[in-house]
Structure 1
Amino acid sequence: MEITHSIFDFIPTQKTIVTIGTFDGVHIGHQKIIEKLVHEAKSSGKKSVLLTFFPHPRMVLQKDVTIKLINTIDERAQHLEKLGLDYLIIHPFSKEFSRLTALEFVRDVLVNQLNISKLIIGYDHHFGKNREGNIEQLTEYSHLYDFTVEEIPAQDIDEVAVSSTKIRRALANGHLKTANDYLGYNFSLTGKVVNGKQLGGKIGFPTANIDVAESYKLIPKTGVYVVKSVIENVTIYGMMNIGNRPTVDGEHQTIEVHFFDFNQNLYDKELTIELLYFLRDEQKFDSVPDLISQLQKDKQTSLNYLKNN
């Protein structure tokens, strides 16, 4: 898969089949559309193109700093690459770009720039200035500019019964199994290991403190999770706490991972942590010995889960 960071840097050598969207999460509903796109492109000798945008349009048009995304833009690209696309275009979304009319978008972007022969879109897709473009206009323009349009029927989308909004809600509520089932893969967090207060080491549970750089990345519900990570090509399991450590200091939110049977120095390494199972909510304990006792139970519960799954 080739990645281009602007529509205007994309130089097609042959006709393309295109889909457009944010595709946050690249969930099983998205995968269905993309698999169709890739299959049709391969069987007709054309190239598959997915056009997505960053920042998220809501961040630009509504100045919505509260919106949290399932994937960072790098994570999104990694998941899309696994689906066999020929080209991924990540176009910078701006107010200026949002002012393109539906006609300008079709003529200047899809036809002149992407060399489109077919557009595959999800049900009820809108585009162009003030979202004025719809399936009727697309169909009209397709006759004018000699390409075809296929809208994924509502019943096909409903059959999957999944959306990025539902996944965000599930993660916020600690319903990790639901989120992972909808995604078709394990939700993950990627960040650099930074210095912490080393409180975990003092109580027999040393942790790696993960700093997620992207402020727009969704951090799931506070609590304790069973997790795994690949470190130097070896899969390592552990448990992770997202929260404020109310028993020891109650400061700002941290993400701390305790890996089982592992004692390498991880400072400054970038790790991707996959979340496998939600163990429990974060709790405040009456004493540090009570906390240690609970952590020992958590470890045993985690090991039992991993043994059975």
Structure 2
Amino acid sequence: MEIIHSVFDYKPTQKTFVTIGTFDGVHIGHQKIIENLVAEAKEKGHKSVVLTFFPHPRMVLQKDVSIELINSIDERAKLLEKTGLDCLIIHPFSKEFSRLTALDFVRDVLVNQLNISKLVIGYDHHFGKNREGNITQLTEYSHLYNFTVEEIPAQDIDSVSVSSTKIRKALASGNLKTANKYLGHNFSIFGKVVNGKQLGGKIGFPTANISVAENYKLIPKTGVYVVKSLLDNKIVFGMMNIGTRPTVNGIHQTIEVHFFDFNQDLYGKNLTIELLYFLRDEQKFDSVETLILQLKKDEETSLLYIKDNF
């Protein structure tokens, strides 16, 4: 899959089938839309293209700094690549770009830049300055510029659009089973292993402290999870705590992973942690000794889960 970081850098060599959206999570609804697009484009000998925007338009137009996205833009790109897509265009969204009229967007972006043959859009899609463009205008422009438009029906949106909002709510409530089912893959956290206070090692549970660079990345409900990661090309399982470590008077939220049967130095490495199962809420224990007893129970439960499912 080719990745281009501006729609104006795209050099069309053939006609394209295009879909536009944020595609946060690249969940099963998104996958169905894109896989159909890819198959149709291939059948016609055209290129399949996803046009997405970063930063998220709300970050620019509403200054909504509290927005939480299921994926970082890099995670989204890796997931989209798995659909067989030919080209992903990540266009930098700006106030200037938002002022393009619906006609300007269709003519200058879709037609002149992308050499579009077919556009697939979601139900009730709006675009252009002040969201003035809609399916009616798109249909008119498609006749003028000789491309076709397919609007995904509302019922399909409701059934497969599983919706990124539903997934965010599931993750926020610790309902990992539902979130992963809707995603069609395991929710993951990508970050760098950084120095921590090394308290885990002192109680027999050494941890890798994960620092996530993207401040917009959704972090699930605090608690303990069964996880896995690829370390030195080998799948390694473990348990992860998201929280403030109240038993040892922690203040700031941390993400710490204890890997089973693994004792190599991971400092400075970038890891992708896949979340498999929600074990329990974070708790404050009366003593460190009580915490250690609970961690041993968590490890036993985790190993049983892994044995039964992998």
Common fold: TM-score over 0.5:
yes
Tell me how far apart the structure 1 counterparts of residues 161 and 96 of structure 2 sit (CA, whole Å): 34
1:127-176 deviation line (CA, Å, top 9, x unaligned): 11111111111001000111000011112222225001111111011010
Give the match for residue 51 of structure 1. 51
Q: Does structure 2 conserve the Cα–Cα contact (< 8 Å) formed by 1:102 and 1:132?
A: yes
- How big is each residue's C-alpha offset from its partner over 1:42-93, in whole Å with a ceiling of 9 and x where there is no partner? 0011110100000000000000000010000000000000101111000000
Partner SS, residue 190 of structure 1: strand
Q: Distance in 2 between matches of 1:159 and 1:276?
A: 24
Alignment partners' CA distance in 2, 1:283 and 1:84:
43
Aligned to 2:229: 229
Q: State percent identity of aligned pairs.
A: 82
- Residue type of the alignment partner of 1:24: D
Amino acid at match of 2:65: V
Distance 1:161 1:89, change over 3 A: closer
Native 8 Å contact 2:200 2:207 kept in 1: yes
The alpha carbon displacement at 1:250 in A equals 1.9
C-alpha displacement of 1:123: 1.3
| Conservation of the 8 A alpha-carbon contact between 1:176 and 1:278 | yes
Give the equivalent residue in structure 2 for 1:120: 120
- Asked if the contact 2:12/2:115 (under 8 Å) is kept, the reply is yes
Aligned to 1:70: 70
| Counterpart mapping for 1:25-104 below 5 A | 25-104=25-104
One-letter amino acid matched to 2:117:
S
SS of 1:214's partner is coil
For residue 224 of structure 1, give the secondary structure of its aligned residue in structure 2.
strand
- Residues 89 and 219 of structure 1: is their aligned pair in 2 closer, same or farther, counting only changes over 3 Å? same
Structure 2 gap segments, 5+ residues each: none
Q: Quick one: which amino acid aligns to residue 8 of structure 2? A: F
Secondary structure at the aligned position of 2:240 is classed as strand
SS at match of 2:120: strand
| Correspondence for 2:297 | 297
- Residue 238 in 1 paired to residue 220 in 2? no
Contact 1:33–1:122 (Cα < 8 Å) also in 2: no
One-letter amino acid matched to 2:182: Y
Moved over 4 A (4+): none
The answer to whether the 8 A contact 2:16-2:47 is kept is yes
Question: Aligned AA for 1:168?
Answer: R
Counterpart residue identity of residue 32, structure 2? K
The answer for the alignment partner of 1:174 in structure 2 is 174
Equivalent in the alignment of 1:197: 197
Hey, what's the Cα distance between the residues in 2 that align with 1:10 and 1:104? 17
Distance in 2 of aligned mates of 1:186 and 1:159: 20
**Residues paired across the two proteins, number:** 309
CA apart distance, 1:292: 0.3
Which amino acid is the alignment partner of residue 302 of structure 2? S
Secondary structure of the corresponding residue to residue 246 of structure 2: coil
Q: For the residues of structure 1 that align with 2:276 and 2:99, how far apart are their CA atoms? A: 42
C-alpha separation in 2, matches of 1:71 and 1:4: 18
CA distance in 2, matches of 1:117, 1:144: 12
Distance 1:158 1:95 in 2: 30
Deviation at 1:249, TM superposition (A): 2.3
Aligned to 1:282: 282
Distance 1:47 1:304 in 2: 46
Provide the C-alpha distance between the structure 1 equivalents of 2:241 and 2:95, rounded to a whole number of angstroms.
39
SS at match of 1:43: helix
TM-score (norm 2): 0.99
Q: Which amino acid aligns with 2:125?
A: H
Superposition deviation, residue 12 in structure 1:
0.6
What is the CA deviation profile of residues 180-230 of structure 1, one whole-angstrom value per residue up to 9, with x for unaligned ones? 001000000011100001100000000000000110100000000000000
Q: Which residue of 1 aligns with 2:184?
A: 184
8 Å CA contact 1:117–1:146 kept in 2: the answer is: yes
Quick one: distance in 1 between partners of 2:145 and 2:161?
Answer: 34
CA distance in 2, matches of 1:292, 1:216: 33
Alignment-derived partner of residue 16 in structure 1: 16
Q: Give the TM-score of the pair, scaled to structure 1.
A: 0.99
Q: Unaligned stretches of 5+ in structure 1?
A: none
Aligned to 2:256: 256
